[in-house]
Structure 1
Amino acid sequence: MRTQDSATATSTIAVSATEQTVTGPPAATGRGPSGPDTPTGPAAPGPTASAPALATDPVGRGTLLAVLGVVSFSLTFPSTVWGLESFGPWSLVAVRSTLAALIAGAFLLGGRVPVPERRHWAGLAVVAGGVVVGFPLLTTLALQTSTTSHAAVVVGLLPLTTTTFAALRTGRRPSRTFWFAAVSGAVVVIAFTLQQSGGAVSRGDLYLFGALLVCAAGYTEGGRLARLMPGWQVIGWALVLCLPLMVPAAAVALAVEPVHLTAHGVIGLVWVAAGSTFFGLYVWYRGMASIGIPKASQLQLAQPLLTLFWSVFLLGETLPLAAPLAAVAVLVCIAVTQRAKS
């Protein structure tokens, strides 16, 4: 609980500093405790009629960032399928992680970001194992036998899984209304999944369920760390932490698995590396730090529906007839969880 209290206090100070910059005296020159978001320069302008509302609304801004993360993640599975046209599953995961780590390292070096304190490295290792290695690897293996649409609805259980991990990790207990809406959304996703797969559980489903567990752990720990350091630094250091492992893994995988470069394959690789792994996690962790892990995780209930759209638009897959009904039910659950006390 001391860790959580400290994180909450840090987040409150950072928000207060931002509000003071908008309404108070000139800001000091230099980097503040909240990283690159802290204004620098001789003075900060006062409020104006044209100032964006989100500048003084951290909750609205955090929701927008989390939504951007969900949109980025919704393209991950179609991009992975494209990437598999050119690379083997192990090569794709190792190369995407290596490229993302190089991008993150460049940003960290360019910003002269200090190395995190020793007490944060255990949490960064959880983030790395969950969202940098575990989730990409397990879902890529699953997509060799599962369709994008099927994988998307299974991963729709991620919000509830993340909320459960967050409750266990932080000690916070969302309200009964929140839990009822979250479980209802999960039931809709499960029913949709079983209806599409004929009630059977395949090896691909086992990969996907494993991906849910490791990703939820990574999201929860990343959301906690994002209250102590900027979100882009959380994913940045987690990626860099994996670099010594991913570089040799990429070299071995590329030597063993065949490579057939195509336009789709290259685009898919670039997106899962720069779009999903770096940008998506960057805005996602910042959003979780602003609005809280439980509410941010419930926004992800919309991710399967977005992925279904991309699977039809980009991959030409057939949209299941039950998708519109599932969409309405899931969006209702999202609305309830966003209004419920968490």
Structure 2
Amino acid sequence: MTAQNSATGLAPIALQVDGSTRDGSTRDGSTRGRTGTRSGTALALLGVVAFSLTFPATAWGLESFGPWSLVALRSVLAAVIAGGFLLAGRVPLPAREHWAGLAVVAAGVVAGFPLLTTLALQTSTTSHAAVVVGLLPLTTAALSALRTGTRPSGRFWAAAVAGAAVILGFTLAQSGGSVSTGDVYLFGALLVCAAGYTEGGRLARAMPGWQVIGWALVLCLPLSLVGSALALASEPVHLNWHGVTGLVWAAAGSTFLGLYVWYRGMAEIGAPRASQLQLAQPLLTLVWSVALLGERLSPATPLAACAVLVCITVTQRVK
């Protein structure tokens, strides 16, 4: 697939989000179909589900690998998968003007976020670490507005802030309101991931989302290989099925498949609106934490879930 046909299936959204008109047509007169909007939402939601498993998978991976080894191996494995798809599809190299954006994606999504959150999970529980995911939609929407010059409506921002507040309060309540030593890592991860999401969403309008993350992974491969060799030489390895499964999912599920469908969905419905779907991600992560890690949820979970779903509904229907 070449860059010339990479925009297939992309659909704009409302004026307050990305510059299209209220009747669903863009400034150039093209028409937005409901099917495209629904497919974009479905793809972004699939990405959210994949991302919600990242923290539990990372916790499993840390049973077998040190934090630096886990992140480096995750990147190497994901790059091999992505490189295979790029070779099989005979995808040409990206245009020169896209390499700077790919470097931002690589630094933020491929390297920065996995490393910082993995370091944080050494001292934080998955529920506490979910704070970063709860704040990520608002940060992504803000950076996207600054990067693209779009201006979401006040109603959009009110719902986004309310949803972020619900998630933040809920997650801090789950961890007893304490501040862990991993918080610096978590907030650093928040900023670099939001930058990577914003730039990736922009690039996904010029090439398919899987090529965005694919080339970003390949761009990181030399550094990942060196990092793997150094980390494995200095950190102990204790292989078990939890650790191997966590590594494989973090690489193939969260890093490649999750980012592929996420960027494609974000390109169809816009970064600010797609980012609000991630308000549900911390709650999903808590569900997986119970099922996979044996953590216990408080009775407040259903109430928080309903509040978040209301906020998501509002942001998805902004006109």
AA aligned to 2:125 is: T
In the alignment, what sits opposite 1:97? Answer: 75
Partner Cα distance (2:137, 2:71) in 1: 23
In the alignment, what sits opposite 1:83? Answer: 61
Contact 1:158 1:212 in 2 (8 A): yes
Q: For 2:240, which of 244, 255, 262 is the aligned residue?
A: 262
Tell me, what secondary structure is at the counterpart of 1:203? coil
Distance 1:71 1:117, change over 3 A: same
Tell me, what secondary structure is at the counterpart of 2:5? coil
In the alignment, what sits opposite 2:194? Answer: 216
How large is the RMSD of aligned CA atoms in angstroms?
A: 1.7
C-alpha displacement of 1:187: 1.1
Contact 1:77 1:307 in 2 (8 A): yes
If the length of structure 2 is used for normalisation, what is the TM-score?
A: 0.89
Q: For 1:247, which of 225, 241, 252 is the aligned residue?
A: 225
Contact 1:154 1:193 in 2 (8 A): no
In the alignment, what sits opposite 2:20? Answer: none
In the alignment, structure 1 residue 313 sits paired with structure 2 residue 305: no
User: Equivalences for 1:7-22 in 2 at 5 Å?
Assistant: none
Contact 1:154 1:189 in 2 (8 A): no
Deviations 1:219-276 (A, max 9, x none): 0000000000111100000000000100010011011100000001000000000000
In the alignment, structure 1 residue 272 sits paired with structure 2 residue 243: no
Tell me, what secondary structure is at the counterpart of 2:285? helix
In the alignment, what sits opposite 2:214? Answer: 236
Deviations 1:256-300 (A, max 9, x none): 100000001000000000000000000000000000001100001
The share of aligned pairs that are identical, in percent, is 75
Q: For 2:49, which of 68, 71, 75 is the aligned residue?
A: 71
Contact 2:133 2:278 in 1 (8 A): no
Distance 1:311 1:102, change over 3 A: same
Partner Cα distance (2:203, 2:189) in 1: 21
In the alignment, structure 1 residue 177 sits paired with structure 2 residue 155: yes
In the alignment, what sits opposite 1:42? Answer: none
Partner Cα distance (1:297, 1:146) in 2: 24
Q: For 1:135, which of 103, 113, 116 is the aligned residue?
A: 113
Q: For 2:5, which of 5, 9, 34 is the aligned residue?
A: 34
Contact 2:131 2:172 in 1 (8 A): no
User: Equivalences for 1:104-183 in 2 at 5 Å?
Assistant: 104-183=82-161
In the alignment, what sits opposite 2:260? Answer: 282
Contact 2:7 2:205 in 1 (8 A): no
Partner Cα distance (2:3, 2:304) in 1: 44
Give the paired residue count. 296
Partner Cα distance (2:282, 2:228) in 1: 29
AA aligned to 2:197 is: Y
C-alpha displacement of 1:196: 3.0
Partner Cα distance (1:147, 1:90) in 2: 18
User: Equivalences for 1:184-195 in 2 at 5 Å?
Assistant: 184-195=162-173
Partner Cα distance (2:183, 2:301) in 1: 19
Distance 1:168 1:32, change over 3 A: closer
Partner Cα distance (2:173, 2:67) in 1: 28
If the length of structure 1 is used for normalisation, what is the TM-score?
A: 0.84
Partner Cα distance (1:285, 1:31) in 2: 17
